[in-house]
C-alpha cells in the first residue's frame, strides 16, 4: 500500500512511499551531502543519513562492498564512469518494476546506460553532464574571433589555438581532454565505448586513432599547458586566464562560479563542442545493493530524489543538471546566467541532452578506460607511436577482459 507525503518540502514532491519507517543510508560523494541535507525533511517517514567519501574513495569502497556482500549503504550513488562495470558485475537490485512506468520522463541515453546487458534496469540516472566547451569571451569575441567559426570542426578549433599561441595564450589546459571528447562522443550506433556488441575491442579503430592524433597535434605544437586537471595549477589557470577553453560537462559552471574562479564572472561563455558533437561528460546514478535490508524503503528515497521538483532543487542547490527532462520547461531554464555574460546556457544544456546517442555500457569499461588513459599519456608525454600504443591496449584487454 502507498501513501502520499503532505507537508513542508513534501508539497514539492508528492512521492509515493512505503507505510513503514526505515533507517536509510545513502553512500555517495560531494556535493550530494548538501543536496541530501536540503531535501531529506521532505521524506519524514524515514530516517535518512549519508555516508560521504571523496569521489575515488567512495567508488573503491563500493567495489569492495559489492565484492564482499557487506558494508554498502541502502542506496548508493555511482558516477557514470563506473556504472557499466558495476551494473554488469551484479550486486544490485533489479529496479525495472519500479522504474519502467516513469522511465520515459528521463533522458533516454542515460536510462539506457543504467541497464545491464540483460536489459534490466539496475541503476537510474539522477543527474547528467551535457558535454560542452567553456571558453573565455575576452579571448574570443573580444579579440574578434567568431565562436561559431572556431567550433566548425576540430581543425578550425586547433587553428584558433595556433592564433592564440601568437598572443601567448594557450588553447586548453591539457590536450588529453580533446582525445577524451573525441572518442567518447563519436560512438557508432549499437556500439559500446570500448567494445562492440559482441565484446570485441574497438580501441584500435579510426575513432581512437583520430582522437589521439588531435591531442598529439595540440601537444606537439605547444598549444596546451600540460596541466593535470583538478590540481591547483589547473584552478589557477582558470583564474589567471592561462588557457582559453575547457571541454567539460555542464557541471563545471557551478565549480567555476562557486570556488574555482568566481572573480572571472562575465569573462566566460559556453558552446557546443567542435563539429556539432553531442555527448555526455559525467553524470550520476542511484542504485540499491542486494545487501540492502529494505529495498522498498530504499526505492522511496530514489523515487523522491528523481522526482521533478527535487531534481529542480538539486539543480539550484548543487548545479546537478536534472535527468528528468520535464524540468527543462521550468522558467529557470530561460534565465540569463551572469557568470556567462548573460548567456541563457541552460537551454543549450537541455538541447544537448535531447540529442545524445545512447552508448551501451560494458563489463570491461573501467579496465579499458584505465588502459586508454595510460596509452594516451605515453603518446603525449613520451612520444610513443599511436598505433603501437593502441595495439598494446588491445592485447591487454584480450587478456584481462573475458
∠280-282-288 over CA atoms, to 5°? Answer: 115
Three state DSSP letters for 248-296: EECCHHHHHHHHHCHHHCCCEEEECCHHHCCCEEEEEEEECECCCCCHH
Distance separating alpha carbons of residues 269 and 121, to the nearest angstrom: 37
Task: Set out the domains of the chain in order of their start, with CATH numbers.
Answer: 24-129+281-337 (3.40.190.10), 130-279+359-401 (3.40.190.10)
For 204, the enclosing helix (H) or strand (E) is: none
Beta bridge partners of 48: 24
CA-CA distances (angstroms) from residue 302 to 24, 75, 87, 306, 310?
A: 11, 8, 17, 6, 11
Q: What is the pTM of this model?
A: 0.83
Q: Residue 28 phi/psi, 5° resolution?
A: -165, -160
pLDDT band at 81 (very low <50, low <70, confident <90, very high): confident
pLDDT at 191 over 90: no
The reported pLDDT for the residue numbered 18 is 63
Instruction: Considering only the C-alpha atoms of the chain, give the largest distance between any 2 of them, rounded to a whole number of Å.
Output: 69
Region 362-381: mean pLDDT is: 93
CA-CA distances (angstroms) from residue 45 to 9, 25, 33, 299, 311?
A: 13, 14, 19, 13, 20
pLDDT tens track for 148-164: 999 999 999 999 999 99
pLDDT band at 276 (very low <50, low <70, confident <90, very high): very high
The reported pLDDT for the residue numbered 363 is 78
Amino acid at each position: 500500500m502507498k501513501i502520499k507525503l503532505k507537508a513542508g518540502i513534501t508539497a514539492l514532491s508528492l512521492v509515493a512511499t512505503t507505510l513503514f519507517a526505515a533507517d536509510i543510508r545513502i553512500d555517495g560523494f560531494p556535493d550530494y551531502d548538501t543536496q541530501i541535507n536540503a531535501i531529506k525533511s521532505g521524506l519524514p517517514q524515514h530516517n535518512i543519513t549519508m555516508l560521504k567519501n571523496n569521489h575515488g574513495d567512495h567508488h573503491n569502497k563500493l567495489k569492495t562492498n559489492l565484492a564482499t556482500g557487506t558494508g554498502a549503504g541502502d542506496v548508493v550513488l555511482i558516477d557514470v564512469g563506473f556504472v557499466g562495470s558495476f551494473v554488469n558485475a551484479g550486486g544490485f537490485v533489479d529496479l525495472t518494476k519500479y522504474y519502467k512506468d516513469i522511465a520515459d520522463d528521463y533522458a533516454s541515453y542515460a536510462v539506457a546506460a543504467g541497464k545491464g546487458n540483460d536489459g534490466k534496469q539496475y541503476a537510474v540516472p539522477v543527474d547528467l553532464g551535457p558535454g560542452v566547451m567553456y571558453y573565455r569571451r575576452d579571448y574570443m569575441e573580444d579579440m574578434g574571433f567568431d565562436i561559431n567559426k572556431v567550433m566548425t570542426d576540430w581543425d578550425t578549433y586547433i587553428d584558433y589555438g595556433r592564433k592564440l599561441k601568437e598572443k601567448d595564450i594557450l588553447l586548453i589546459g591539457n590536450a588529453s581532454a580533446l582525445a577524451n571528447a573525441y572518442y567518447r562522443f563519436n560512438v557508432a550506433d549499437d556500439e559500446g565505448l570500448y567494445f562492440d556488441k559482441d565484446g570485441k575491442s574497438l580501441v584500435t579503430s579510426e575513432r581512437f586513432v583520430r582522437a589521439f592524433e588531435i591531442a598529439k597535434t595540440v601537444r606537439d605544437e605547444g598549444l596546451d599547458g600540460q596541466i593535470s586537471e583538478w590540481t591547483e595549477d589547473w584552478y589557477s589557470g582558470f583564474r589567471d586566464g592561462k588557457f582559453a577553453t575547457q571541454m567539460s560537462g555542464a557541471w563545471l559552471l557551478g565549480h567555476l562560479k562557486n570556488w574555482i574562479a568566481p572573480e572571472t564572472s562575465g569573462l566566460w561563455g559556453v558552446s557546443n563542442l567542435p563539429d556539432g558533437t553531442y555527448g555526455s561528460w559525467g553524470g550520476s546514478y542511484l542504485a540499491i545493493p542486494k545487501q540492502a535490508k529494505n529495498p522498498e524503503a530504499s526505492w522511496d528515497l530514489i523515487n523522491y530524489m528523481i522526482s521533478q521538483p527535487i531534481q529542480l532543487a538539486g539543480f539550484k542547490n548543487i548545479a546537478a543538471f536534472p535527468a528528468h527532462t520535464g524540468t527543462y520547461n521550468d522558467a529557470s531554464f530561460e534565465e540569463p546566467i551572469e557568470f556567462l555574460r548573460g548567456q541563457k546556457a541552460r537551454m543549450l544544456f537541455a538541447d544537448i541532452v535531447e540529442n545524445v546517442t545512447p552508448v551501451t555500457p560494458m563489463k570491461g569499461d573501467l579496465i579499458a578506460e584505465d588502459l586508454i588513459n595510460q596509452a594516451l599519456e605515453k603518446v603525449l608525454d613520451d612520444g610513443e607511436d599511436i598505433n603501437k600504443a593502441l595495439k598494446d591496449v588491445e592485447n591487454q584487454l584480450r587478456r584481462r577482459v573475458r
